[in-house]
Structure 1
Amino acid sequence: MNSHSLSEIKREIEQIGRRLGCPRNCLPTFGFSEDFGCPHIEVNASGLHYVVVERGVELERKTTHDLNDLLYIVFEAVTFSMAGDYELKHRIPGQDSRRILFRRQLELLGSVDADWVTRLRQDQHKILACNPFNDGVESAR
């Protein structure tokens, strides 16, 4: 059984969202799906769920029993979107766009939780191990 209610989770996510200054439409819905690839949060006896549905088909479901883990999942996606918007406005021709995007996402998550930065950095390193930056610029990472 979960000790976290949907309203408690909503309140926490909205509070962090305000702190980040993220647009409301970047946040998930709670207890229902808007579809069209917009994530939503479900809470039931089997856990806390981050779910993405598009055209009535469930594309992604991440389940946890830990509220902090759910918050990381939500804000990893939210800050990725925000960092993508930032990168578009600050793009450097010829540079792999992920350099700006990854750095900005780390900054955004760092303003919320230092442990999330460590986790994100590990995730980014895994991505870059399989798909290195493709611009010939030496990385200062």
Structure 2
Amino acid sequence: MRPLEFLKTTELQEKIIEDLNKIKGQEDLEKQLNFKEPVIGSEEGRYVFADTQGYHYIVSERGQKIVNKVTDDLFDIKFWVIYPIVVTISFDFSAENSQNNDDPRIVAFPKQLALLKEIDQNLFKRGEIEQDEILKTNPIL
């Protein structure tokens, strides 16, 4: 059996940017990402890169890796990278469009799914699963 071959970081970057560009009205979302491996002293942020071990997603804050995931699945890495961006967009939308003090998820969750659906039906389905898991332990009242 031959070893898995992964996309190069530049190819991974192209695929992720292509998906992010499907979100209407949102430009330059890729600027939230660093498509390189972080090194000691790197700035805080989200890092996405590929190497012989697979696809990496790292979130760094205050010099510490607070998220450090590796996968050999292109879909997983795309979801890990895109979903937090969509969540931020949807909660910003909710803050601008919510009525009174309702749970912001009432507006944000449908917006998340709509954005994911603009990108890819499978991302949409995975988003539904993520929301269902959240609502199991923290229902909207």
TM-score, normalized by the shorter chain, greater than 0.5: yes
Structure 1 SS opposite 2:7: coil
User: In 2, distance between residues paired with 1:20 and 1:58?
Assistant: 28
Mapping of residues 1-141 of structure 1, within 5 Å: 1-21=4-24, 22-25=26-29, 27-33=32-38, 35-36=43-44, 38-134=45-141
Answer with 62-71 or 18-27: which moved more.
Answer: 18-27
Runs of 4 or more consecutive aligned structure 1 residues displaced over 4 Å after TM superposition: none
Contact 2:12-2:50 at 8 Å conserved across structures: no
Which residue identity lines up with residue 120 of structure 1 in the other structure? G
Note closer, same or farther for the CA distance 1:14–1:103 as it changes in structure 2 (3 Å cut).
Answer: same
Contact 1:2-1:44 at 8 Å conserved across structures: no
Post-superposition offset of 1:90: 0.4
Q: Percent of aligned pairs with the same residue?
A: 23
TM-score (norm 1): 0.85
User: In 1, distance between residues paired with 2:56 and 2:5?
Assistant: 11
User: In 2, distance between residues paired with 1:47 and 1:32?
Assistant: 12
User: In 2, distance between residues paired with 1:23 and 1:62?
Assistant: 26
Note closer, same or farther for the CA distance 1:127–1:107 as it changes in structure 2 (3 Å cut).
Answer: same
Post-superposition offset of 1:65: 0.6
Which residue identity lines up with residue 10 of structure 1 in the other structure? Q
Post-superposition offset of 1:68: 1.7
User: In 1, distance between residues paired with 2:91 and 2:105?
Assistant: 9
Structure 1 SS opposite 2:119: coil
Post-superposition offset of 1:25: 4.9
Alignment root-mean-square deviation, CA: 1.7
> What 5-or-longer segments of structure 2 have no aligned partner?
none
> What 5-or-longer segments of structure 1 have no aligned partner?
135-141
Number of residues of Structure 1 aligned to a counterpart in Structure 2 = 133
Which residue identity lines up with residue 33 of structure 2 in the other structure? P
Structure 1 SS opposite 2:100: coil
Answer with 40-49 or 16-25: which moved more.
Answer: 16-25
Structure 2 SS opposite 1:59: strand
Q: Residue deviations 1:56-107, cap 9 Å, x none? A: 1000012111112211111111111111111111011132101111110000
